[in-house]
Amino acid sequence: MYTQEDMWLLMKAFFLEKGLVRQHLDSYNEFVEKELQQIVDSIGGVEIPISNGNLYIKFGEISIGNPRVTEVDGSSHEVYPLECRLRNLTYAAPLFLEMTPILNGKTITTDTVYIGDLPVMLKSEICPLSRMTREELLEVGEDPDDPGGYFIINGSERLIVGLE
């Protein structure tokens, strides 16, 4: 039979091993690494009726860039969460999709097209912070003990809470 002290030790060991946000990170990583491509594959492409034939746009591989911000002048640069917090920006990465137009059965050159931005969960696999040492995190203004698992939307930290 377990004592109350045993239960507390077990809980402490669990949180040391998994942390409070591991489920959030695992779920998001699964989404960006597998499920996003599965969604694209399930759609396959889109048929566009045109006056002189049939145009089909076949969808290929989806890819995610590094978190970036686009300035008013059109220039863009990589960004870290601190800058997004300070400037009320969204910490997001560009999404790209390979698209192959097929006009009347003839394949035209495949292009990789920017299709939008995906909010980046802090410390997820696509977040550069997940690959940094404690010292590097301090250099970019991040708390090395912050477990991540949340988003920065318009400068505010946002957490998605799952309910059953």
Residue 154 clears pLDDT 90, i.e. is over it: yes
One DSSP character per residue, 92-137 reads EEEEEEEEEEEETTEE---EEEEEEEEEPPTTSTTSGGGG--HHHH
In the chain, where are the structural domains located?
28-155
Q: According to the model, what pLDDT value does residue 17 have?
A: 62
- Tens digits of residue pLDDT in 22-79: 888 999 999 999 999 999 999 999 999 888 888 999 999 999 999 999 999 999 999 9
- CA–CA separation, 79 and 85 (whole Å): 11
